[in-house]
């Protein structure tokens, strides 16, 4: 019988029904399609923003300032630039260049005939009637001119005006005749691109999301060439590659997904000092490669990646024993490795790992103020206990 990974539902988020038909079980703690890790709490459909320590791309934390350390010198004013369409680090508005379906910037602009309303090609292709006015869609035409405008807007975004000010006259009113310089705030631009990609991804406009993420990768690579490998830039690039992997996986392109997840692992592994967010992203990327290998039937390769993820998490927990969420992730990794061990015929090793995970969770004390974490602990524990009990049943040969 083909072994069933207890926590790899995320490897194929678009084919849950086909897995049911094949008799595959669904892990009880895989609520949103990625049960293996910290991203089960904020799944890759809402991937962590690589430009924020808070690792949240889908809420207000994405809007906090990202321009600390920006280059301006003593002769630059400190006033922030303003985007005329309302896209900035404090708010995110639906502007005139946005698709009203995915709420991201237009991608492959398409005009409905006869009503002339414009949407992304992938978004409007799902409708027979215009979602804005209800008119029958007779045909859809590409709008190359508007798309060129959107592309120019993206290219120029985050470039802001800064009037020059002499350091000895900082308190004087800035004259309109002063020279104006433009500075590309790469961090701000990166957050802007991630916002666009995540909105498109959640609306299943995968090609739009990939396009914005690819621009983000190019920006960071350019910075790496100019500034050298910094921990911050490598962390950002690793996270963006991981999100690109999610896009490819959602589109059913497993081979490209593996390539991007491997790139994520490569850059994150370069970091001499790893934060909790880096550990999460690194272990998630390793697990997702394992998931894809699992679905390909390559259990040995899957086990190798699962073990690497487990080692990363165990090492972090060893030095941060007061991090309960990471201890939960260790237990999930133990379940992953145990499941593959079972599939490879190593039942004794599988039983030991299931038992290790059970003991780990039974000894874990959680703060009563975090009921969500306790709920997850109970779900993982229940699953591990069920797997352990299943393997303790006497076989017919022992009766």
| Residue 78 pLDDT grade (very low, low, confident, very high; cuts 50, 70, 90) | very low
Q: Could you read off the pLDDT of 245-259 as tens digits, one per residue? A: 999 999 999 999 999
Whole-number pLDDT of residue 99: 92
Q: Residue 391: name the closest of 359, 358, 347 by CA.
A: 347
8-13 average pLDDT score: 36
Is-contact 47 209, C-beta < 8 A?
no
Query: Is pLDDT larger for residue 269 or for residue 186?
Result: 269
DSSP-derived secondary structure for 62-89? GGS---TT----TTB--PPP--TTSBSS
Domains of the chain: 1-48+226-389 (1.25.40.10)
pTM: 0.69
Is the per-residue pLDDT at 294 higher than 60?
yes
Is-contact 213 238, C-beta < 8 A?
no
Whole-number pLDDT of residue 252: 92
| Residue 84 pLDDT grade (very low, low, confident, very high; cuts 50, 70, 90) | low
Is the per-residue pLDDT at 207 higher than 50?
yes
Q: Could you read off the pLDDT of 146-201 as tens digits, one per residue? A: 999 998 888 776 554 444 444 444 444 444 455 544 444 444 677 788 888 999 99
Q: Could you read off the pLDDT of 49-72 as tens digits, one per residue? A: 444 433 333 333 322 332 233 333
Q: Could you read off the pLDDT of 12-48 as tens digits, one per residue? A: 333 434 333 333 333 333 333 334 544 333 333 334 4
Is the per-residue pLDDT at 135 higher than 60?
yes
Q: Which helix (H) or strand (E) holds 244?
A: helix 231-250
Is the per-residue pLDDT at 205 higher than 90?
yes
Is-contact 109 147, C-beta < 8 A?
yes
Is-contact 301 260, C-beta < 8 A?
no
Surface-to-core class of residue 272, CB atoms within 10 Å of its CB (0-12 exposed, 13-18 middle, 19+ buried): exposed
| Residue 1 pLDDT grade (very low, low, confident, very high; cuts 50, 70, 90) | very low
Q: Could you read off the pLDDT of 386-395 as tens digits, one per residue? A: 999 888 766 5
Is the per-residue pLDDT at 11 higher than 50?
no
d(CA 92, CA 86): 7
**DSSP 8-state class, residue 12:** S
Whole-number pLDDT of residue 395: 53
Whole-number pLDDT of residue 179: 53
């Amino acid at each position: 019988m083909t072994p069933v990974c207890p926590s790899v539902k995320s490897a194929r988020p678009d084919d849950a029904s086909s897995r049911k038909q094949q008799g595959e079980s669904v892990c009880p703690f895989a609520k949103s399609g990625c049960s293996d890790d910290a991203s089960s709490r904020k799944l890759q459909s809402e991937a962590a923003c690589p430009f924020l320590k808070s690792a949240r791309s889908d809420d207000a934390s994405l809007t906090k300032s990202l321009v600390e350390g920006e280059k301006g010198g003593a002769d630059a004013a400190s006033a922030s630039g303003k985007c005329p369409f309302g896209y900035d680090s404090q708010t995110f508005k639906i502007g005139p260049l946005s698709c009203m379906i995915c709420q991201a910037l237009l991608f492959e602009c398409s005009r409905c005939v006869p009503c002339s309303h414009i949407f992304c090609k992938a978004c409007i292709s799902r409708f027979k009637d215009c979602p804005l006015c209800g008119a029958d869609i007779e045909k859809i035409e590409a709008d190359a001119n508007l798309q060129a405008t959107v592309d120019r807007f993206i290219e120029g975004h985050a470039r802001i005006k800064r009037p020059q000010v002499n350091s000895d006259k900082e308190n004087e009113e800035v004259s309109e005749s002063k020279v104006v310089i433009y500075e590309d705030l790469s961090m701000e631009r990166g957050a802007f691109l991630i916002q666009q990609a995540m909105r498109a991804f959640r609306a299943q406009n995968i090609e739009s999301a990939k396009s914005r993420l690819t621009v983000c990768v190019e920006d960071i690579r350019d910075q790496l060439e100019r500034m050298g490998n910094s921990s911050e830039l490598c962390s950002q690039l690793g996270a963006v590659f991981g999100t690109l992997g999610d896009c490819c996986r959602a589109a059913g392109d497993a081979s490209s997904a593996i390539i991007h997840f491997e790139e994520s692992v490569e850059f994150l592994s370069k970091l001499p000092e790893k934060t909790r967010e880096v550990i999460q992203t690194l272990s998630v990327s390793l697990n997702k490669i394992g998931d894809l290998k699992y679905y390909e039937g390559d259990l040995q390769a899957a086990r190798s990646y699962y073990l690497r993820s487990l080692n990363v998490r165990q090492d972090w927990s060893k030095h941060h024993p007061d991090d309960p969420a990471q201890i939960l992730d260790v237990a999930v990794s133990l379940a992953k490795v145990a499941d593959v061990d079972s599939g490879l015929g190593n039942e004794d090793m599988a039983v030991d790992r299931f038992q290790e995970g059970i003991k780990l969770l039974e000894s874990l004390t959680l703060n009563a103020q975090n009921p969500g974490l306790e709920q997850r602990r109970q779900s993982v524990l229940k699953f591990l206990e069920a797997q352990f009990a299943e393997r303790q049943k006497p076989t017919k040969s022992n009766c």
